[in-house]
Amino acid sequence: MGKVTMMLAIALVILHLVSRCRGGVTSSYRRKLEASVDMPLNSDVFRRPPGYNAPEQVHITQGDYVGRGVIVSWVTPVEPGSDLVLYGPASNKSKYQAHARLTTYKFGNYTSGYIHHCKLKNLDYNTLYYYRVGIGNSSREFSFTTPPEVGPDVPYTFGIIGDLGQTFDSNQTLGHYASNELAKALLFVGDLSYADHYPLHDNRRWDSWGRFVERVAAYQPWILTAGNHEIDTVPEIHETTPFKPYIHRYHAPFKASGSTSPLWYSIKRASAHIIVLSSYSAYAKYTPQYEWLQNEFTKVNRSETPWLIVLVHSPWYNSNNYHYMEGETMRVIFESWFVQNKVDLVFSGHVHAYERSERISNIAYNITNKECTPIPDPSAPVYITIGDGGNIEGLANNFTEPQPNYSAYREASFGHATLEIKNRTHAYYSWHRNSDGIKEVGDSAWIYNRYWRPDE
Ligand SMILES: [Fe+2]
């Protein structure tokens, strides 16, 4: 090899290494890539509670704008049964009572059980409540703790799960999450049961999912986002109303935030203002979701809730070949608002892998200026894709190469995350991969609040 050729080869190798190292980390960690399998319907995790017409699929969510309300939901399989929820503090567990609203729905040949939703209002902050549903021997008791009063320096820890499904891997993720004692409420970024994986969207898989997650969802609120697997339309059996099973089964306090749909809404909880958006509802200019979001940003008060967090199913920044650029139209419409309003974090699902972005934005483009590449932007959110709950579709192990500069860390493993808000300036974020039956931290970062610590 001639001297010039040799030098050229060395230069090329160096150039290649530099270009590979400039972006973030693509983790090579890998435990499992075989298909994920749904747990059979006769599994223990799906077992019906004992007793005639016993309430099942018990779950709660925040029931108002500020955290003094809880919506308790459950299903009775045989007949409506009692609509009462008895609740109270440890000293008097049945001090109060509230009545539920009943709903049912049909889906093809399937008829749902009796679905109850009951709003408990004017609860005290930061208080352990017990609640009971059902009658006599079949009645069941659960508990929850209300959040502290909304305030700028209130520490609070959220869990984050997406695309959970009901496989053996889903069970591991849920188990790992349940063993995490810090997390007090779950931010769920869409794709719940994957019932639509079955012929005619066998809705019995919505029931089994409800029984599966009860061990967590009955004790702490799940702040839910709708994903594409919640759309559930089957035209051949005339099921053409989008989100029908989801909306019947899972309620949200959307009216409290001035929304006209349970698919997009917001809540305040402790020191966080959380905005939930719908990737699969209209969001272009003049649509209800667009107008609601525009107005919602004017209501955010960072002196009251320093942390501004958005949940949306389809990610805007995703360097996986799966679902690549599916969130692009929403990004183009809303991203400038996110930067102007200094959103701290955006959590998404949809892609069955994990990815964390740098703070970047891509809002300069005006058709003629060619400025259409994401650039570092201290006012931009960190985007986290966490669609790795463990559903039946398996892992998305096909990242684009090379790793783009905006991608800080990515890995095709199942897991969940936690966000530990410490005060108005600092939050500690960590992602916990499922690793051979145990959980271990795969990625972590201190998140500095965009409003109170914009320089860091
Ligand atoms: Fe999805």
Query: What is the secondary structure of 301-323 as a DSSP string?
Result: -TTT--EEEEE-SS-SS--BSTT
Length of the chain: 456
b/e burial code for range 423-450 (CB count within 10 A of at least 16 → b)? ebbbbebbbbbbbeeebeebbeeebbbb
pLDDT reported for residue 437: 76
| Domain ranges across the chain | 150-190+263-455
CA 240 – ligand 1 centroid, Å: 19
Amino acid at 389: G
CA of residue 442 to ligand 1 center, whole Å:
23
Centroid of chain to Cα 245: 18
Task: Report pLDDT for 11.
Answer: 53
CB 158 within 8 A of CB 384: no
pLDDT at 1: 45
Which segments of 77-153 are extended strands (E)? 84-88, 96-99, 101-103, 106-107, 110-111, 114-120, 128-133, 140-145
**Using an 8 Å Cβ cutoff, are 266 and 228 in contact?**
no
**Of the candidate ranges 11-25, 28-42, 97-111, 389-403, the one whose mean pLDDT is the lowest:** 11-25
pLDDT tens digits along 39-84: 999 999 999 999 999 999 999 999 999 999 999 999 999 999 999 9
> How far apart are the CA of 332 and the centre of ligand 1, in A?
20
Average pLDDT over residues 136-154: 97
Catalytic residues: 323
pLDDT 10s digits, 345-371? 999 999 999 999 999 999 999 999 999
Q: What is the pLDDT of residue 19?
A: 40
- Distance from residue 194's CA to the centre of ligand 1 (Å): 9
Question: In the predicted model, is pLDDT for residue 143 greater than 90?
Answer: yes
Please give the average per-residue pLDDT across 412-417, as a whole number.
96
Average pLDDT of the chain is 94
Instruction: Give this prediction's pTM.
Output: 0.94
- pLDDT band, very low/low/confident/very high, at 31 (cuts 50, 70, 90): low
Give the residue-averaged pLDDT of 127-140.
97
Q: Rg of the Cα trace of the chain?
A: 23
Average pLDDT over residues 139-164: 98
pLDDT score recorded for residue 14: 47
The pLDDT of residue 5: 57
Percentage of the chain beyond pLDDT 70 is: 94
pLDDT at 17 over 60: no
Å from CA of 315 to ligand 1 middle: 10
Strands 96-99 and 84-88: antiparallel
> Alpha carbon of 81 to those of 11, 227, 245, 274: distances in Å?
76, 31, 21, 35
pLDDT tens for each residue of 241-266: 999 999 999 999 999 999 999 999 99
407, β-bridge pairs: 357
Helix, strand or coil for residue 395?
Answer: coil
Q: Are 409 and 415 in contact (CB under 8 A)?
A: no
How far is ligand 1, taken at its centre, from the CA of residue 443, in Å? 22
The pLDDT score that the predictor gives to residue 21 is 42
pLDDT of residue 377 exceeding 80, the answer is yes
Single-letter residue type at 301: N
Which comes out higher in pLDDT, residue 36 or 157? 157
Q: Does domain 150-190+263-455 have CATH number 3.60.21.10?
A: yes
Average the pLDDT over 435-449 and give the result.
92
Q: How far apart are CA 203 and CA 239, in angstroms?
A: 12
pLDDT at 255: 98
Burial 122-133, CB ≥16 within 10 A → b, else e: ebebeeebbbbb
Whether residue 388 is predicted with pLDDT greater than 90 in this model: the reply is: yes
CA of 161 to the centre of ligand 1 (A): 13
Region of poorest pLDDT, from 130-134, 155-159, 363-367: 363-367
Per-residue model confidence (pLDDT) at position 15:
45
What distance, in Å, lies between the first and last C-alpha atoms of the chain?
A: 49
pLDDT per position as a tens digit, 209-232: 999 999 999 999 999 999 999 999
Percentage of residues of the chain with pLDDT beyond 90? 90
- CA 387 to ligand 1 center in whole angstroms: 8
Q: Examine the pLDDT at 126 and tell me if it is beyond 80.
A: yes
Residues 6 or more apart whose Cβ sits within 8 Å of residue 14: none
CA distance 88 to 98: 11
Give the model's pLDDT for residue 456: 82
Q: How far is the CA of 348 from the centre of ligand 1 (A)?
A: 9
